[in-house]
Amino acid sequence: MKDFSREEIDYVLDAAEKLEPVARGEERSRLLDGKIISLLFFEPSTRTRLSFEVAARRLGGQVLNLGSVEASSVMKGENLADTIRVISKYADLIVLRHPLDGSAQMAAEFATVPVINGGDGSVHHPTQTFLDLYTIRRESHLEGLKIAIAGDLKYGRTVHSLCHALSLYGAEMTFVSPPELRMPSEIVRGLRKQKIRVKETDSLEDIIEDVDVLYMTRVQRERFPDPDEYEKVKNSLRVTGDLLKAADPNLKILHPLPRVNEIAPEVDETPHACYFEQAFYGVPIRMALLALAMGVIE
């Protein structure tokens, strides 16, 4: 994500906005007519895979799925470099999801067709960041944004690149997390160096009155050696109807999904809830990225 300037990000978001009627099925497009998009997913990821598949189909493209890793040549010991070289001969574009960090970068070196990173290892998931930014732009505003990011800020891969991208827009950021899962200090330092206003707290009550967007993330049980500690944190970082009584009426709540306990079901029906629309915005964003990578839009 760090490869993109603010102008380039805006360019992708603008392209997504133009394609939104196609993503909603209101208009038809043949932009990827005759093109084959290969989805190489080496680990499960229903949402990302499905939204790429929908994006390709909405643009008139054909989708080639790898199928299960167990049944493929990977189980026979083929390395990723060879797999990429072979798939490059079959498809016009590769979307890769892989458990190792940096695998998309390597794939791009071996591929003879464009590669889109659908999430590699624990560090990168750029299309998620694009769709988060797009959701914020569509449902709130990127300019002069005050955002709180809550949950697992230590390990959450999407929040680190989201912070970097938001810093390009000068957003004011508040990080809400239990002490064990705080944002890594080098990221906080880096943001402050860029003159970004950053606050840290462990309570949603402290911030709810004063933010435009609340970005929730899941706190995973396996991060806590002590189950009691997990229970305590799980209940302290929870968005409820009660909490939202103090919120700005225009507050929007985002979540990359799946959620577990961190947003109470009663919130879904409020105008604050944006997370299902956010999941939809993954489609126009991925359509824009596919079309741009294939060079069928400028």
Instruction: Return residues touching another protein (CB under 8 A).
Output: 2, 79-81, 98-103, 105-106, 109, 120-124
Place of tokens 């950053």: 198
Measured from the CB of residue 177, what is the shortest distance to another protein in angstroms? 22
- Is there a contact between 175 and 153 (Cβ–Cβ < 8 Å)? yes
Distance in angstroms (rounded) separating the CA atoms of residues 127 and 33:
22
98 is catalytic: no
Q: By C-beta, is 58 or 157 nearer to another protein? A: 157
Sheet holding 213-216, edge to edge: 198-201, 172-176, 146-150, 213-216, 252-254
Sequence-distant (6+) residues with CB within 8 A of 48 are 41, 97, 118, 119, 125, 127, 128, 282
Q: Which candidate in 35, 49, 58, 97 is catalytic?
A: 97
135 is catalytic: no
Q: By C-beta, is 40 or 106 nearer to another protein? A: 106
160 is catalytic: no
Measured from the CB of residue 190, what is the shortest distance to another protein in angstroms? 11
Q: Which amino acid is at 214?
A: L
Question: Which element (helix H / strand E) includes 235?
Answer: helix 227-236
Sequence-distant (6+) residues with CB within 8 A of 231 are none
Measured from the CB of residue 145, what is the shortest distance to another protein in angstroms? 25
User: Where does residue 186 rank: exposed (0-12), middle (13-18), buried (19+ CB within 10 A)?
Assistant: exposed
Q: By C-beta, is 33 or 82 nearer to another protein? A: 82
Q: Which candidate in 47, 189, 197, 232 is catalytic?
A: 47
Strands 146-150 and 62-65: unpaired
Q: Which candidate in 76, 89, 195, 245 is catalytic?
A: 76
What backbone torsions phi and psi does residue 146 show, to the nearest 5 degrees?
Answer: -115, 115
What backbone torsions phi and psi does residue 110 show, to the nearest 5 degrees?
Answer: -95, -20
48 is catalytic: yes
**Residue 295: both structure tokens together:** 């060079």
- Is there a contact between 46 and 18 (Cβ–Cβ < 8 Å)? no
Q: By C-beta, is 77 or 227 nearer to another protein? A: 77
Q: By C-beta, is 74 or 296 nearer to another protein? A: 74
Measured from the CB of residue 7, what is the shortest distance to another protein in angstroms? 22
Measured from the CB of residue 3, what is the shortest distance to another protein in angstroms? 10
Longest distance between any two alpha carbons in the chain, whole Å: 57
Q: By C-beta, is 84 or 233 nearer to another protein? A: 84
Q: Which candidate in 35, 48, 138, 252 is catalytic?
A: 48
Q: Which amino acid is at 27?
A: E
Cβ-based neighbour number of residue 230 at 10 Å = 18
Measured from the CB of residue 51, what is the shortest distance to another protein in angstroms? 25
76 is catalytic: yes
Active-site positions? Answer: 47-48, 76, 97, 125
